[in-house]
């Protein structure tokens, strides 16, 4: 990959910070001493370029060339940079190259396109289909931001014409939120002739076309003149208000809005109900989110403009690297990454947000350092899952819920649903463009758009990866393999289609149609359709699988994670070692994540849920009993009363996984302590139900079903009465929390020592039992963490301190201590952790199957990492040993986690010595 082993700027470890209006630059600056003391080398910052006001995440960027003013001034940013540098911290920035925030009144590019349509200088920077088959949208942009039908909103006064006295411009405002500019060529219709000066300006605006190609510049000059007159002439200003009154009617009387309706009909935009987007949207979106519009970052002029500030920050040494958001949304990710490297020679570290299928590898020719680590999060989760529990959990899930459909079929059905509903318009456009290619050649001219749509839908539903990367050259072996797979399965699912349509689409998607000269097909058209299909398949996978199927298939929620495969139950230590060795060889600086702003559950919630695989029989017995208790008083058939069994089963897992550590005492908590947690669970359950799209959806919420489920939750967590469910639950949960804590330590140590760059999500240095966003973006109590770290630093790291941490394990101090210990070791021995060496170690004896161990080497320095799996099992380690790498016979090693000295004899460690106190050990030959 791109970065040499010891290149400066490669992070030792990162710490993710989520910036928003309540956590800005000065807040981050205050954390510099704490983060340095913790041991990270880089702050990994969420997007902090200018976003829409009130943005909680920064991904709805409206200007790439400005810092977000809600986070602080330029001076505040400089103070943050200085504080980081003073404490030896560098930065990695999360950058958004795929889309921008639109709607509202904040994106000047978008507003200009709405104002001038295809003539806007920014029209080509967005991915807009100006020649749509929808005749009423020709040369217009659909603006699907209305909460009701257009006529209803118009009649209610939800659309009003207003004058901006500062700009001298007119716009229709939807709900006083969304600005929809009026084209200046129509200002004359508004200004009228009732005032002499307005009549003159009206005539000037009406004849702007005479000044092509300088129409927009002349229009700006006239606007400025109009604004000046409005400021200085009260009569003229009053005349403008009178003119507006002619367009704005009476609320509830549609006929009085006819003049405004006529004016709107002549604009370059068409305001519509948000549901219209599914069928008629004619701009590329981020997934199916209407107010995030895709941009054509492949255009050189847009690329240079959008990266100008980033390049300056890299050149100034403020940034050491970038994390590229949603790389699969780009037309050509490889070309983008190579251009980025070429244009930014001082870019030492570059990682991409990319979800890899189990059989898929990151493309080596992209010249990036790796992914952001979703695959590691799922790998370590599956390592902690006991394969012995699969049969019991699978059987019980089918019996309890009545669902036995394989996950692969659920995923396919969900992808088909997304293409039939939320993303139907994009599929229609893709089929239309494929039809145009087909009709350009006599041999394929009879393939209709409808037939091509059906076939494309089946192919995309069967794709085994998010997307391929065909670019007009010969497809890679990986791309051809995945297209072969999709076509083969699609043919079997729709046998009514003539097989020749699949043959044609295979040639189109692989670009084989133009492999030979004089093919009869346009090279430009074929490549365009193939690349657009790739841009479409990724969002379909994301929305169909992660945001739908993951909420329908609830066998074990620990597996339903971003980038995960819920039907792959567990991973053996051998497979874990193989994945680590491959990463060490191919992407030694890839990011390793276990919690992010996008994960469905916090890392420690997943670690706790993994324990269910070890206690499957006990778990299933309790779920059956809990259901009977909670449904005992329901009216009608318990089976038919909300929640359905699938939602109910998800609820029990969410409750168990995220139950707060401070409440994990085995006793029923009091109402105040439980109330905040209940609200979080309710929010997560509503999101899960709507994402599943079975009983309710975001677009059409089923209030009756949702309310019934919320009543079920409140009944389950009611402490105002004797509650047999809660009494049973807290006793079981306390045991699971203890075992889950052991798993969390295993997960933490593996992330910090495996090949790659470990990332700590904000706050996750203590227990992270978060639910899905927005729960995982709650404010972090950094003061408590700083105090805990400072307190721990005052004591020697020894067995006594570890014992103290274990006695108070609920506060998270133990996890924090281990993180600090390993990060300090990474700082002291950087070559050992940056190197690509990785040696799997072989345990032997009765407990060998419950141990994962490996070694890493740099010169004469060695590191051995060993973790104990299956914490609920008998932890007697009699006659169980871990063999050392060749060349070691005996000697003393230091366990950096507690400072103890462990002796190796007969070229091995005794497991009983390594795991005497903790289920993890990190040993080094460096004894000082």
Compute the average pLDDT of residues 718-723: 95
Looking at residue 7, its pLDDT comes to: 60
Phi/psi region, residue 169 (left: phi>0; alpha: psi -120 to 50; beta: rest), is: beta
pLDDT greater than 50 at residue 425 = yes
Distance CA 376, CA 606 (A): 13
Distance CA 345, CA 341 (A): 6
Contact of 764 with 13, CB cutoff 8 Å: no
Give, in order, the Cα–Cα distances in Å from 63 to each of 96, 124, 662, 700, 758: 11, 17, 43, 33, 31
Q: Is the dihedral of CA 173, 174, 179, 185 positive or negative?
A: negative
Compute the average pLDDT of residues 567-590: 97
- Reported confidence tier of residue 5, pLDDT bands at 50, 70, 90: very low
Q: Which residues contact 882 (CB under 8 A, 6 or more apart)?
A: 841, 842, 843, 844, 851, 853, 864, 866, 908, 909, 911, 914
DSSP secondary structure of 637-704: -TTTSSSPHHHHHHHHHHHHHH--GGGTTSSPPPHHHHHHHHHHHHHHHHHHHHHHTSS--SSS--HH
pLDDT greater than 70 at residue 928 = no
pLDDT, tens digit, for every residue of 106-140?
999 999 999 999 999 999 999 999 999 889 999 99
pLDDT greater than 80 at residue 1 = no
Which tokens in the block code for residue 355? 């979800």
Residue 318, Cα to own-chain centre: how many angstroms?
25
- Reported confidence tier of residue 875, pLDDT bands at 50, 70, 90: confident
Looking at residue 35, its pLDDT comes to: 98
Of the chain, the percentage scoring pLDDT greater than 70 comes to 98
pLDDT, tens digit, for every residue of 302-318?
999 999 999 999 999 99
Distance CA 591, CA 353 (A): 10
pLDDT, tens digit, for every residue of 684-711?
999 999 999 999 999 999 999 999 999 9
pLDDT greater than 90 at residue 735 = yes
Looking at residue 2, its pLDDT comes to: 39
Compute the average pLDDT of residues 904-918: 93
pLDDT greater than 60 at residue 457 = yes
Contact of 611 with 732, CB cutoff 8 Å: no
Looking at residue 439, its pLDDT comes to: 97
Distance CA 223, CA 230 (A): 10
Looking at residue 193, its pLDDT comes to: 87
pLDDT, tens digit, for every residue of 626-651?
999 999 966 555 566 899 999 999 99
Distance CA 508, CA 515 (A): 10
Contact of 284 with 535, CB cutoff 8 Å: yes
* CA nearest neighbour of 864 among 922, 812, 816: 922
Looking at residue 634, its pLDDT comes to: 62
Distance CA 131, CA 139 (A): 7
Bridge partners of 854?
840, 865
Which tokens in the block code for residue 859? 């010169």
Looking at residue 133, its pLDDT comes to: 86
Q: Which residues contact 637 (CB under 8 A, 6 or more apart)?
A: none
**Cis peptide leading into 100, omega within 30 of 0?**
no
Looking at residue 800, its pLDDT comes to: 85
Looking at residue 639, its pLDDT comes to: 60
Summary mean pLDDT of the chain: 95
Looking at residue 6, its pLDDT comes to: 42
591-592 and 839-840 strand pairing: unpaired
DSSP annotation of 212:
T
Distance CA 891, CA 887 (A): 11
pLDDT, tens digit, for every residue of 192-215?
988 999 999 999 999 999 888 899
């Amino acid at each position: 990959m791109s970065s040499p082993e010891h290149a400066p700027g490669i992070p030792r470890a990162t710490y993710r910070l989520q910036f928003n209006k309540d956590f800005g630059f000065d807040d981050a600056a205050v954390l510099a001493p704490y983060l340095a003391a913790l041991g990270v080398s880089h702050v990994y910052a969420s997007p902090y370029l200018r976003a829409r006001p009130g943005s909680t995440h920064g991904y709805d960027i409206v200007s790439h060339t400005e810092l977000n003013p809600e986070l602080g001034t330029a001076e505040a940013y400089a103070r943050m940079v200085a504080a980081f540098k003073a404490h030896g911290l560098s930065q990695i920035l999360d950058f958004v190259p795929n889309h921008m925030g639109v709607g509202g009144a904040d994106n000047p590019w978008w507003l200009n396109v709405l104002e001038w349509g295809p003539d806007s200088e920014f029209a080509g920077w967005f991915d807009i289909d100006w020649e749509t088959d929808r005749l009423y949208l020709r040369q217009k942009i659909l603006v699907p931001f209305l909460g009701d039908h257009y006529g209803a909103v118009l009649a209610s006064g939800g659309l009003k014409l207003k004058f901006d006295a500062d700009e001298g411009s007119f716009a229709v405002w939807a709900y006083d939120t969304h600005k929809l500019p009026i084209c200046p060529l129509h200002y004359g219709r508004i200004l009228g002739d009732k005032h002499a000066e307005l009549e003159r300006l009206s005539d000037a605006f009406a004849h702007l076309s005479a000044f092509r190609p300088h129409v927009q510049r002349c229009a700006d000059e006239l606007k400025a003149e109009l604004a000046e007159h409005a400021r200085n002439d009260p009569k003229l200003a009053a005349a403008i208000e009178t003119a507006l009154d002619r367009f704005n009617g009476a609320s509830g009387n549609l006929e009085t809005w006819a003049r405004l309706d006529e004016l709107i009909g002549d604009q370059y935009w068409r305001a519509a109900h948000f549901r219209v987007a599914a069928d008629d949207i004619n701009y590329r979106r981020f997934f199916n989110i209407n107010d995030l519009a895709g941009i054509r970052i492949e255009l050189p002029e847009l690329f240079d403009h959008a990266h100008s500030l980033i390049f300056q920050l890299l050149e100034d040494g403020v940034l050491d690297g970038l994390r590229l958001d949603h790389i699969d949304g780009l037309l050509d990710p490889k070309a983008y990454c190579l251009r980025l490297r070429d244009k930014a020679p001082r870019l030492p570290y570059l990682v991409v947000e990319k979800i890899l299928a189990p059989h898929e590898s990151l493309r080596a020719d992209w010249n990036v350092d790796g992914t952001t680590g979703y695959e590691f999060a799922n790998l370590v989760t599956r390592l902690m899952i006991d394969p012995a529990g699969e049969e019991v959990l699978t059987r019980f899930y089918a019996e309890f819920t009545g669902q036995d459909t394989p996950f692969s079929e659920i995923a396919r059905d969900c992808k088909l649903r997304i293409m039939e509903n939320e993303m139907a318009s994009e599929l229609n456009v893709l089929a239309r463009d494929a039809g145009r290619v087909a009709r350009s050649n006599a041999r394929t001219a009879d393939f209709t758009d409808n037939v091509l749509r059906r076939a494309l839908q089946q192919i995309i539903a069967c794709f085994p990866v998010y997307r391929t990367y065909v670019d007009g050259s010969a497809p890679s072996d990986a791309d051809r393999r995945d297209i072969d797979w999709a076509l083969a399965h699609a043919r079997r699912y729709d046998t009514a289609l003539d097989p020749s349509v699949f043959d044609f689409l295979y040639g189109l998607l692989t670009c084989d149609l133009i492999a030979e000269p004089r093919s009869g097909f346009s090279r430009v058209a074929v490549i365009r359709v193939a690349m657009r299909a790739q841009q479409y398949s990724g969002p379909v996978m994301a929305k169909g699988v992660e945001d739908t199927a993951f909420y329908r298939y609830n066998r074990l929620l620990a597996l339903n994670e971003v980038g995960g495969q819920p039907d792959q139950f567990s991973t053996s230590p051998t497979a874990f070692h193989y994945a680590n060795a491959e990463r060490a060889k191919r992407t030694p600086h890839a990011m390793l994540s276990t919690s992010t702003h996008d994960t469905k559950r916090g890392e420690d919630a997943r670690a706790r849920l993994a324990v269910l695989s070890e206690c499957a029989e006990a778990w299933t017995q309790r779920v059956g009993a809990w259901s009977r208790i909670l449904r005992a008083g329901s009216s009608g058939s318990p089976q038919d009363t909300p929640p359905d069994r699938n939602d109910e089963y998800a609820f029990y897992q969410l409750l168990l996984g995220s139950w707060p550590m401070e409440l994990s005492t085995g006793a029923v908590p009091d109402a105040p302590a439980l109330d905040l947690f209940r609200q979080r669970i309710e929010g997560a359950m509503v999101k899960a139900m709507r994402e599943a799209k079975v009983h309710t959806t975001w677009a059409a919420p089923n209030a009756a079903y949702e309310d019934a489920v919320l009543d079920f939750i409140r009944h389950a967590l009611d402490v105002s009465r004797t509650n047999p469910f809660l009494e049973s639950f807290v006793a079981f949960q306390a045991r699971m929390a203890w075992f889950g804590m052991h798993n969390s330590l295993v997960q933490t140590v593996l992330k910090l020592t495996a090949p790659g760059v470990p990332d700590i999500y904000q706050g996750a240095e203590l227990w992270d039992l978060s639910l899905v966003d927005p729960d995982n973006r709650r404010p972090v109590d950094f003061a408590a963490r700083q105090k805990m770290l400072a307190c721990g630093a005052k004591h020697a790291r020894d067995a006594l301190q570890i014992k103290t941490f274990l006695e108070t394990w609920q506060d998270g101090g133990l996890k924090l201590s281990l993180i600090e210990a390993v990060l300090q070791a990474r700082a002291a021995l950087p070559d050992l952790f940056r190197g690509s060496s990785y040696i799997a170690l072989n345990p032997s004896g009765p407990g060998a199957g419950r141990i994962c161990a490996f070694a890493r080497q740099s010169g004469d320095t060695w590191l051995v990492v060993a973790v104990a799996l299956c914490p609920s099992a008998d932890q007697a380690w009699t006659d169980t040993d871990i063999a050392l790498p060749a060349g070691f016979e005996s000697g003393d090693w230091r366990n950096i986690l507690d400072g103890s000295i462990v002796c190796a004899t007969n070229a091995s460690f005794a497991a009983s010595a390594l795991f005497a106190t903790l289920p993890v050990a990190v040993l080094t030959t460096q004894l000082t």
